[in-house]
Structure 1
Amino acid sequence: MKKLHQLYNVKKDIDIRDIKTNSKLVTPGDLFVCIMGVTVDRHDFIEEAIKRGAKAIVVNRDVNYDIPTIKVSNPNDELNKLLIKFYDDPFKDLILIGITGTDGKTTLATIIQLLIGKDKCMYIGTNGVSYNDVTLDTLNTTPAIEEIYKYAYIARKAKLKYIVIEASSEAFFHNRLKDLLFDVSILTNITRDHLNVHKTIKNYLKCKSLLFKQTKNSGFSILNKKDKYFHYLKKICPGKVYTYGSKHTHIKLINYQNTNKGTLIKFQLNKRTYLINSPLIGCFNVDNLLASILLCDILKTDINRVINNISNIYVTGRLENLDFGQKYTVILDYAHTPNALLQVLKHFKKQKRNKIITLTGSAGGRDKEKRSIMGKIVLKYSDWVIFTMDDPRYEDPESIIKQMIGKIKKKNYEIIVDRGRAIKKSLTIAKKDDIVLILGKGRDNYMMIKDFKIPYCDYDIIKDYFDDKK
């Protein structure tokens, strides 16, 4: 909390409890900043903010309200300066690690936090905010900039040293990360996604590249050398660049082998060879783990602590193997892009002893062109597919499913729009040694219908199914 006169040259001695740019989130005592969004002007919501208890506003034009009004030339540029004052520049004592990529952000960020330790590192991303034994919910994969500053302030108070954050392309597009400087930037991969927002892959790449442009000159970047855009991104990185993803990189993968409990990985780092047991599965998670180990080494984290922490890695809703005593495998995963689906299905195709049953859908209000690509992939690599709904928003889920199926002549599928019923059907038809892949939502706790988040969770449906069979 700060006094208004500590932030601006005004005589009013008012307590400011928090800073908000979303009028719907304003609570009594807040300072409301009227930034310009991509399609929204926050000046239009001043009255709503005041009704909710805003005690002062920051604007760029003459307005007439009965609360302190601070006029600036550009509220968007003003916001970061204000946040630095209000939260006492929280990032000056923290190392900020940003992760971007089409797939794998949540997994990589979670691995990094667990290897460094929750007592030293805060995670911010799709699965909320976590540190020590604390877990908080967030509205977006990458929260608004004022929320990020608040979490940084909390991290400093908790005497943490690091923050690892998922930096999504939409966050850069909507200026949620504007003017934030990163100590470390990491790339997982770049394939097509979010073209409903970015329109072209070129625009999508441009937003992704902002993470690396916003990396400090004194910082460094870690890039996946296998990625198609590796050379493009390497040229724009201001600091030193480290690499992973192939044999000719700073951390060298020698080989890996799938096991019943995960993956046995052999790699070389600093001319020393290591053999580790990872609880994660899939070649993509080999890359995620090696990128994390490389980061820890650069940060001079004790390598023995890192190796010992590998056995503790668990990423909720990401290739999560659910064991309820059934005689078949149930995997819960967030895969919702063509590349993610392909990688997951190719991995399990190699492992299968019987049939692969895949449940999937595609979100409404998102990139429509990827739907038919996703349909082809799941029908090619699965023995049976159940197409269902996945956050339809304002679209008709049956129409989305028809777009996924397209003109494919294969008939190894059925349509069950109700996702709960679809999941129960996939589990009912599964036989011994089958693999049931429930894809698209991970452990999301809602279904997006129009603009409403309806309480819903794939995991709860699965658990209830097996509980009822006891």
Structure 2
Amino acid sequence: MTLDALFAPYGLEAPPIPVRGLTLDSREVEAGYVFVAVPGVPLPHRKPLDGHDFIPEALRRGAIAVVGEKALSLPVPYLRVEDGRQALAELARRFYGEPDRALALFGVTGSKGKTTTSFLLHHLLGEAALLSTAGLAFGKERRPPLGHFTTPEAPRVYAFLREAADRGLKEAVLEVSSHALALKRVEGIAYRVGVFVSFYPDDHLDLHGTPEAYFRAKALLVERSELAVLSTRLPHLEALRQRPHLLFGPGGEVWAEELREGEEGLAFTLHTPWGRGEAFLPLLGAYNVENALAALAAALAFGRPLDELLAALATFPGVPGRMEVVQKEPFRVVIDFAHTGKSLEAALKTLRRTTRGRLLLVVGAAGERDPRRREDIGQVAARLADKTFFTEEDHRTEPLEAILEALAEAARREGGVFERVPDREEAILRAILEARPGDTVLLAGKGHEATLERGTLALPWNEREAALKALRLRAQAQGSGPREGGV
């Protein structure tokens, strides 16, 4: 696309030179790019950046045009807009040729469970694309996630949809965070089915300010969906039901009974408007039944046959970093993304039911995030784990020792047993060296993430490899090797 064609809807004359890309990150600018300057997001723990301050850097890197919200005079075409984020989404959609029109889109949101539900729905649909916290997929081809965001910025979202359409795929599943909805990363996208899995009012208040604003951001997905698939446990359900909808969970149209929870997974009887059947989900954690119901309801509403979905559910390979079993015996090692008090509580309670010995925990709390999380995590760890190793988890520019002390103080008030081990690799090794037959070691907080943020650095990280390294070191000392295994 040329610059004049890209800017045509805004009435700004520009030369017909090729546009190679667009971004709001000046570090990503290359020759031929359009740079969109947006104001930063104000958060309690830091002063926001302002994209307008990085225009000189973008120009030095080869930007051929700039979009912004301020009155400026620049040596390249400058498009002034009222809302930079809105313009970024509109320009990205136009640049990539409106790829959303070629796909049936499924959006999944929720305070907890949206990643697992997204992976489940992608698996049930078969040949579809997936954009998620824990990775991307085009049919069966898997790729690592696009950074730390659940939902990336608009140019990457539309680039993903363009590739999916160009590959001939007909459906795409998008995991959609409240941040993405509030910050217009998915602006312009309409969904065939929108899935709202869960809502916890005390999450992400550092961005949204109030539970009401947080809920309104989530509810935008429902407003933009032809059909809403809604949990019966959601607040404000009557307001959401003004849209065409399908309910899942207790009292809904898609529900489960006779749950049997075992070491290999979850068995239950599924009831739907399309019939009933016996279901098996090879995941740990009874809470995953709700995620399965959400995904099944969306796929059934889209027209997939019930018998095919039940067969597919039983072959679900799991989600990287979500109750991922690294070793089963003689003691179990599990990786989970649990990084809030509520998600950590659910993970620990799940593992307690199938742990013969002690429950050992490695966990931290992220810097530059709501500090209330630290107290919640510390208290839950003290109550539910036999011993906790508090360690780093993306402390960013906050002092790590201050975060560890906040976790320790919360655990101390609950009478918990813990150690502070600042280096995460060492903390994992300490926990695994201490484990005895029948114990479970839970490595919580990082899950699938490929980086560990220390200060301003994002260092390569792989939680599974760190666990396997620790198991090898233990095995070398004892003369045996780690036993890898899935659920």
Query: Please, what TM-score do these two structures have when normalized by structure 2?
Result: 0.88
Kindly indicate whether residue 97 of structure 2 is the aligned counterpart of residue 127 of structure 1: no
Give 2:94's aligned residue.
85
Shift of 1:37: 4.3
What secondary structure does 2:413 align onto?
coil
- Which residues in structure 2 correspond to 1:423-462 (within 5 Å)? 423-462=428-467
Shift of 1:130: 1.7
Instruction: Tell me the distance in 2 between the aligned counterparts of 1:373 and 1:37.
Output: 28
Give 1:281's aligned residue.
284
Mark the CA change 1:431 to 1:244 in structure 2 (over 3 Å): closer, same or farther.
same
Give 1:252's aligned residue.
255
Letter in 2 for 1:8: F
CA RMSD of aligned residues (A): 2.2
Shift of 1:81: 3.5
Shift of 1:161: 1.6
Letter in 2 for 1:276: A
- Which residues in structure 2 correspond to 1:248-327 (within 5 Å)? 248-270=251-273, 272-310=275-313, 311-323=315-327, 326-327=329-330
- Which residues in structure 2 correspond to 1:7-86 (within 5 Å)? 7-9=6-8, 10=13, 12-38=15-41, 39-60=48-69, 62-72=71-81, 74-86=83-95
Q: How many residues align?
A: 459
Shift of 1:345: 1.5
Give 1:360's aligned residue.
363
Instruction: Tell me the distance in 1 between the aligned counterparts of 2:38 and 2:392.
Output: 35
| Correspondent of 1:463 among 444, 456, 468 | 468
> Is contact 1:195–1:366 with CA below 8 Å preserved after alignment?
no
Kindly indicate whether residue 213 of structure 2 is the aligned counterpart of residue 209 of structure 1: no
Letter in 2 for 1:6: A
Kindly indicate whether residue 18 of structure 2 is the aligned counterpart of residue 5 of structure 1: no
Matched residues, percent identical? 26
What secondary structure does 1:398 align onto?
helix
Alpha-carbon displacement from aligned partner over 1:347-406 (angstroms, at most 9, x marks no partner): 222222111111211111111123222222221122222221211112222322222232
Shift of 1:234: 4.2
Kindly indicate whether residue 233 of structure 2 is the aligned counterpart of residue 226 of structure 1: yes
Mark the CA change 1:367 to 1:79 in structure 2 (over 3 Å): closer, same or farther.
closer
Structure 2's unaligned 5+ residue stretches are: 42-47, 476-480, 482-487
Give 1:138's aligned residue.
146
- Which residues in structure 2 correspond to 1:344-383 (within 5 Å)? 344-383=347-386
Alpha-carbon displacement from aligned partner over 1:263-299 (angstroms, at most 9, x marks no partner): 1121112263211221111111111111111111000
Query: Please, what TM-score do these two structures have when normalized by structure 1?
Result: 0.91
Letter in 2 for 1:451: T
What secondary structure does 2:287 align onto?
helix
Mark the CA change 1:237 to 1:17 in structure 2 (over 3 Å): closer, same or farther.
farther
Instruction: Tell me the distance in 1 between the aligned counterparts of 2:391 and 2:300.
Output: 43
> Is contact 1:379–1:412 with CA below 8 Å preserved after alignment?
yes
Structure 1's unaligned 5+ residue stretches are: none
Which piece of structure 1 moves more, 144-153 or 2-11? 2-11
Alpha-carbon displacement from aligned partner over 1:217-257 (angstroms, at most 9, x marks no partner): xx111111124x1xx144045521211121x2111211211
Alpha-carbon displacement from aligned partner over 1:321-341 (angstroms, at most 9, x marks no partner): 112x74011110000112111
Shift of 1:202: 2.9
Give 1:241's aligned residue.
245
Mark the CA change 1:436 to 1:81 in structure 2 (over 3 Å): closer, same or farther.
closer
Instruction: Tell me the distance in 2 between the aligned counterparts of 1:81 and 1:65.
Output: 22
> Is contact 1:255–1:267 with CA below 8 Å preserved after alignment?
no
> Is contact 2:428–2:470 with CA below 8 Å preserved after alignment?
no
Give 2:194's aligned residue.
185
Instruction: Tell me the distance in 1 between the aligned counterparts of 2:254 and 2:461.
Output: 41
What secondary structure does 1:353 align onto?
coil
Shift of 1:82: 2.7
